[in-house]
Amino acid sequence: MPIPTHAFAHVRLTVTDIDRSRAFYEDVFGLPVAFELPADADEETKKQLWFLFGGVIYKLGDSLLGLRPVSDDTFTEDRTGLDHVSFAVNSRAELDSAASLLDARGIEHGGVKDIGAGYIVEFRDPDNIALELFAPKG
């Protein structure tokens, strides 16, 4: 019998520079922090939050998106593992707005593309991780 899953609980991305990545993800997505180690954390708190590995976890709807600062190489979707992360937006209008925000931030992207089932905008984070925004048609 297959495992009865219904959604992703979380995705964690490995990054090379946590401060740079946090600045990018917080500026572009504005997600609220779900878990982070406070600078003045006592030993008990450090033990409880060991799973952060010096990173941060954001709340993303009913899921979580984490950043973990352990990588020392460059991302490529042509290696085994992650191809890209796609974030849902509600409409083409929200996607157009997002493309304008990326333009205003100087973040290169491929423009809004019609892929049949919906529309996408593709771009990359500071570690070259491929990101996508998706809006359904209708």
Quote the distance between the C-alpha of residue 41 and its chain's center.
26
Q: How many residues does the chain have?
A: 138
pLDDT digits (tens, 9 = 90+) for 84-122: 999 999 999 999 999 999 999 999 999 999 999 999 999
Whether residue 129 has pLDDT greater than 80: yes
Q: From residue 77, how far is each of 27, 72, 122 by CA, in Å?
A: 24, 16, 13
Q: Do domains 1-73 and 83-138 have the same CATH topology?
A: yes
Q: What share of the chain is helix, strand, coil (3-state, %, to 5)?
A: 25, 30, 45
Per-residue H/E/C for 26-88: HHHHCCCEEEECCCCCCHHHHHHCHHHCCCEEEEECCEEEEEECCCCCCCCCCCCCCCCEEEE
> The tokens of 106 are what?
């100087």
The CATH number assigned to the domain with range 83-138 reads 3.10.180.10
pLDDT band at 82 (very low <50, low <70, confident <90, very high): confident
Count of helices and strands (H, E) across the chain: 3, 8
pTM: 0.89
pLDDT digits (tens, 9 = 90+) for 70-79: 867 777 878 7
Q: Which fold has domain 1-73?
A: 2,3-Dihydroxybiphenyl 1,2-Dioxygenase; domain 1 (3.10.180)
Domain ranges of the chain: 1-73, 83-138
